A and B are shown apart, each in its own frame.
Chain A
Amino acid sequence: MKQTSKPKTVFNQDYMSQAEKVFSAGLVNLLRARGHAFLEQGYAGSWTHDAAGASLLDCSSSGGACNLGRKNAAIVERFKKAIYETDQGNFVMPSQEKALLARRIADFVPGDLDCVLFGVTRGESMDAACKLARGFTARPGLVTVDGGCYGESGFALSLSARPGKEQFGRLIPEVTVIPFGDEGAAAKAIGPRTAAVVMEPIQAENHCRVAEARYYARVRALCDNAGAKLIFDETQSGFGRTGTRFFFEQLGVSPDILIVGEALSAGMFPMTAMVFTPELKHFFDIHPLIHLCTFGGHDLGCLVAMKALDEYERLEPWHGAAATGATLVKELGALADKQAEKVVSVSGRGLLLSLKLKSPQAAVSFCAAASQAGMLVETGIIDASTVVLRPSLLIGAQEAGRIVDGVAAALQAL
């Protein structure tokens, strides 16, 4: 055991030096470039703060996890009690908590997506989905679209367009990448060796790119004809973010497997899930415990997520997201028109919005300027020239106005 002194009072600079030491100077420099080299604390509702007390309108929501605002009071209250009712539980065992949450998710998600396998990260749930599709169909092929972003785990990374993934050598084989929106390419790629077609129906990290509605219907039909399964990742677009409970409702197309992210617990607990049809559950019935996750279906997390679902159903935040998002798109579009030399376009649905700037450097500078203007935003992972806006779904008109002002100020500073 090494000799170290106890951490002292919160001094930003001391902590940044410590972060450089224990994490990396590269990380701190990256944050500095974005204006994010501060200690986050004191967040609540639509706002977060740095250690010096400066307020930032949170347009990150931790990647769309905190859909009901930061530290949602009702969920926190339930969480505090739940700590004394349960713990993680022995992960292999069925539990009342897991069973009840699974039922609640089945009720919450439209269509016949009635079955659940819990995870702890988006990537792990995506990996479980790919395994389920391969296991159920006894086929190896995974078809995905370009520009996707599914997480950092083995299958998820293999499917993603994440820059730099080639550093990790040979990843999962039998992955075919086709152009998003290209029906002809889909028809060519989906066949008797295809286990699943995987996509985010709206690519949050890629300028909120969507395809035409008929594309999704065509892919659905191609999957049905070929006996392949359709997997939608709605980690960022789920739980009301795009103006409906899930984005796929706007497409009239239902997947066989749906990935939901940490918005399931409204950003209070690391819990994700793979939601799938009863047909597919047969695989887990005949192969019990074939896919395990120690923290997946954490009993305490289940109680927290159930309260989050209560709040989603009580508040129905998708209505507000649709209305506020429509206003924001209009106003940000007007700003973009005025600043055409800086903004390429505005895109998105509901409160999942994206600004495309002229270059990745411009996007980084925009984040720094937005920080100065009192707004926390992040660049897109896939299209690094973009800035993603993901505020709480509960923001009002005043806060929406602050977003427009913040974007205007940040653009001005570029």
Chain B
Amino acid sequence: MSDKPSITMDPHERDYVQHLFGKHVSWGQVRYLRCAHLDVYERSRKGSTFIDAVSKERFYDCFSSAGCFNVGRGNARIMDTLRDALDEYDMGTHGLLSAAKIDFAGKLAALCPGDLNKVVLCASGADACAGAIKLAKGATGRNDVITTNKAYHGHEGFSLSANGKDYYKEMFLPLMPGFHVVDFNDLEAVKRLAGKDIAAVVLEPVQGEGGIHVATREYMTGLRRICDEHGIMLIFDEVQTGFGRTGTLWAMEHYGVIPDIMFTAKSISGGLYPNGAVVYREIEPLTSYVEANPCFHTSHGGGTDLGCVVSSAVLDYLVENKVWENAAQRGARFKQGLTDIWKANPDCVKEVRGLGLMIGIEYKYEFIGALMADCLARQGVWAVFSGNAPQVMRFQIPITASADEVEDLLKRIQAAVKAMRWYLIALLPLARLPFVRKLLDNVKFQIIAFNLIRDIEEFVRGVFDLKTQGVKS
């Protein structure tokens, strides 16, 4: 196999790719994704969709790499910008300034509310999270940080310490001391901890991996007040919520609350080239600290020349097309459609929640996550359940999606729920037995059972020469 990606792959080529991935990266990952029918191979990425190289069927991308493709996949303008930039730029020399870096930082600051005027360029969401926490700790001279249950900020040392799910942390202990985890939307818990030891409160305005939990206005304004009273830095993680995803350019705009520090990444460069940023208020003690320690957080792969050119083009595109308005309109319709599905299926759907085009549908049982991912895939909808809450299916389609696409997507989701109900006829009575439910919710069991079903299915399809997948185009 050459180093050029195949436009299409037959099952043998796919098996070979899986063999290579399994041998050199992780067999576990291959099996895990296969069990939920998430093992597609993306090609012809365009707008809200991509084509699976194996089945040659088109899928709606309802994950968008956790919200990276806000300008749509295969955005010609952004791709052309990167192509043309390659005549002038590479990553640029780390530590030197360039017009590309300064222009982008200026543009980003100009698009942030209030006195969020100062920028530190970073390479990724986790890198930016580390930068934000370091800034708060360094500027306040305090150690401790308040974070929230089910929060997801990344996997490097600072961000991992701030994560709110034990599974991601427990095998790597001890992590940084002084991170206090409290319930999301629980203001009293923050009040109890607030004091002279606390450097920062860190949270996502809408928890993504945690299962699409939206912060309340009272919570956000309350946090602002508590932080002001105690000299605590309020940090918003807008890695997933930024760049129009929630129906405003930044999720913070829904609340009228400006954090002291905000960090972002993902859609910052449209899914084409890594970049990230910390943006902080032009206030004391932040500015004095950075003036005295301008290299407090440096990032080799962050704020590169190419990254900044691409990110500038992304910002221009978002602003010129007011893409967040589309997210608000399409999001409202999508949420209504999902709510209708919820009302029609109260025995298996618990709730629908979200902001803009960051919407989650919570099922009553954890095991439904993988089952529903499979049913959706068979309807041409590629959607991923939340890492920190498997019972929540996340829908984060590119926010450039059209009204027709949203309607079509809702129809497919309806069909997937209908198909899932057949499985549930057998599974729901069983799930009432505690030990069976425990087994069904167990990821290892799901991997074995669903992979076995896929093996049998592929064998039958092979024998009867059926199409590899039943996905509608």
Taking Cβ atoms with an 8 Å cutoff, the residues of A that contact B are 1-2, 4, 7, 10, 15-16, 18-19, 21-28, 30-31, 36-43, 48, 51, 58, 60, 62-63, 65-66, 70-71, 76, 79-80, 83-100, 102-106, 114-117, 120-124, 127-128, 130-131, 134-135, 138, 140, 151-158, 164, 167-174, 261-262, 267-272, 281, 284-296, 298-301, 303, 306-307, 310, 376, 378
A123 to B111, CA, bound (A): 29
Structural contact, A22 and B102, CB atoms closer than 8 A: yes
Closest 7 CB pairs of A and B: A154-B157, A270-B301, A169-B143, A288-B28, A102-B24, A27-B294, A153-B156
Given A96-B6, A268-B91, residue A293 in contact with residue B41 (CB < 8 A): no
Taking Cβ atoms with an 8 Å cutoff, the residues of B that contact A are 1, 3-6, 9, 17-18, 20-21, 23-33, 38-42, 45, 53, 61, 63-66, 68-69, 73-74, 79, 82-83, 86, 88-99, 102-103, 105-107, 109-113, 117-120, 123-127, 130-131, 133-134, 137-138, 141-144, 155-161, 167-168, 171-178, 199, 249, 265-266, 271-274, 287, 290-302, 304-307, 319, 382, 384, 387
Structural contact, B273 and A1, CB atoms closer than 8 A: no
11 further A-B pairs in the complex, CB-CB below 8 A; given A93-B38, A120-B123, A154-B130: A1-B249, A22-B102, A62-B92, A94-B33, A96-B6, A96-B53, A99-B25, A130-B172, A167-B138, A284-B29, A289-B387
Structural contact, B291 and A285, CB atoms closer than 8 A: no
Contacts of B176 in A (CB 8 A): 154, 169-173
Given A30-B294, A106-B24, residue A292 in contact with residue B155 (CB < 8 A): yes
A98 → B minimal CB distance (Å):
7
The count of A-to-B residue pairs whose CB atoms sit within 8 angstroms is 383
Structural contact, A99 and B17, CB atoms closer than 8 A: yes
Given A90-B61, A167-B293, residue A294 in contact with residue B92 (CB < 8 A): no
Structural contact, A303 and B24, CB atoms closer than 8 A: no
Structural contact, A157 and B143, CB atoms closer than 8 A: no
A121 to B174, CA, bound (A): 22
A24 → B minimal CB distance (Å):
5
Contacts of B112 in A (CB 8 A): 2
Structural contact, A15 and B384, CB atoms closer than 8 A: no
A-B contact pairs, 28 of them (CB 8 A): A7-B102, A15-B102, A21-B117, A26-B291, A26-B293, A58-B93, A70-B90, A71-B86, A85-B5, A89-B42, A90-B64, A90-B382, A94-B18, A95-B17, A95-B41, A96-B5, A99-B20, A99-B24, A102-B25, A120-B124, A123-B127, A124-B126, A154-B156, A269-B306, A281-B26, A284-B26, A293-B124, A300-B272
Given A48-B93, A89-B65, A100-B20, residue A15 in contact with residue B99 (CB < 8 A): yes
A23 to B138, CA, bound (A): 17
A16 to B97, CA, bound (A): 9
A145 → B minimal CB distance (Å):
19
A285 to B126, CA, bound (A): 23
A13 to B343, CA, bound (A): 62
